[in-house]
């Protein structure tokens, strides 16, 4: 970004963007809780999509989507994506067109309003410090998935600190095998430039979402799971 434009953007970011995102998160979060109490998770998902698109619009953040032919909005997937920035969340939820349930660290569930809203959306909280507890959380989540629900894993387990794709963990791939759902690999591109990890250095920009062809994992593939994980990682990384 042009340094003069970036300097001029800073007052807008602090006076408009950050307060707006906070207010819309609280208001739509409360609406999500009420909707979740009265209706199904699908209704809460519509509110989450509105939240995502409003957050993208106020930055402003343009999101482009490639690979629409590689998936159907009417079926379930285990979505596996790289993770560069906090902006990945509204970009994907607002534009992929799927009913997404996020795998989230349990600490996020303690945030007032936001944590409860995510609960009614059907997000899955896991304790990343306790492997057994994390497995139990995911096992319980399997029983709650509807016919069109998708579970999204950031397979690196955390945000990249330099924009490069780190090693993938096995959780998403084990989950796909156990549920019989296909892996849907997704590359998120340029979000690191919009908002680097551990930073408030937010700038307007364009995020590209690239959806690859599904990867099917069956029981007899488990002996070669490491190879499938490596190939999926390479597929996602190759589009950056």
Reported as a pLDDT band with limits 50, 70 and 90, residue 105 is: confident
Q: What is the pLDDT of residues 153-201, one digit of tens each?
A: 999 988 998 889 999 999 899 888 888 899 999 999 999 999 998 888 9
pLDDT at 87 over 80: yes
Can you give the pLDDT at residue 139? 67
Mean pLDDT of 116-126: 89
Can you give the pLDDT at residue 11? 95
The percent of residues above 70 in pLDDT, for the chain, comes to 90
How many angstroms separate the CA atoms of 120 and 35, rounded? 8
Reported as a pLDDT band with limits 50, 70 and 90, residue 142 is: low
Query: What is the DSSP annotation of the chain?
Result: --HHHHHHHHHHIIIIIHHHHHHHHHHHHHHHHHHHHHS-HHHHHHHHHHHHHHHHHHTTEEEEEE-GGG--TTS--EEEE----TTHHHHHHHHS-SEEEEEEEGGGGGSTTHHHHHHHHT-EEE-TT-HHHHHHHHHHHHTT--TTEEEEEETTSS--SSSS--PPPSHHHHHHHHHTPPEEEEEEESHHHHS-TT------EEEEEEEPPPB---GGGGGGHHHHHHHHHHHHHHT-
What CATH code is carried by the domain that includes residue 231?
3.40.1130.10
How many angstroms separate the CA atoms of 168 and 69, rounded? 25
pLDDT at 41 over 90: no
Angle at 222 between CA 220 and CA 227, to 5 degrees: 115
Mean pLDDT of 211-236: 90
Domain count, the chain: 1
How confident is the prediction for the chain on average, in pLDDT?
Answer: 90
Can you give the pLDDT at residue 158? 87
Can you give the pLDDT at residue 135? 63
The domain of 195 spans: 3-238
């Amino acid at each position: 970004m042009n340094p003069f434009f970036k300097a001029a953007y800073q007052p807008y970011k602090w006076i408009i963007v950050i307060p707006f995102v906070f207010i819309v998160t609280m208001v739509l979060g409360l609406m999500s809780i009420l909707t979740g109490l009265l209706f199904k998770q699908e209704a809460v998902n519509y509110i989450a999509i509105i939240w995502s698109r409003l957050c993208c619009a106020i930055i402003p953040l343009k999101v482009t989507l490639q690979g629409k032919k590689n998936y159907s909005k009417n079926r379930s997937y285990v979505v596996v994506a790289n993770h560069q920035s906090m902006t990945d969340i509204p970009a994907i939820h607002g534009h992929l067109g799927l009913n997404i349930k996020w795998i989230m660290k349990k600490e996020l569930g303690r945030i007032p309003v936001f944590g409860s809203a995510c609960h009614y959306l059907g997000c899955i909280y896991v304790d990343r410090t306790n492997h057994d507890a994390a497995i139990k959380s995911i096992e319980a989540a399997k029983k709650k998935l509807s016919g069109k629900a998708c579970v999204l894993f950031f397979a690196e387990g955390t945000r990249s600190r330099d924009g490069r794709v780190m090693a993938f963990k096995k959780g998403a791939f084990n989950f796909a095998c156990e549920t019989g759902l296909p892996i849907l690999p997704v590359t998120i591109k340029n979000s690191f430039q919009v908002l680097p990890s551990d930073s408030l250095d937010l700038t307007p920009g364009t995020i590209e979402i690239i959806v690859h062809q599904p990867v099917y994992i069956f029981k007899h593939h488990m002996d070669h799971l490491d190879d499938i994980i490596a190939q999926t990682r390479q597929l996602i990384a190759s589009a950056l």
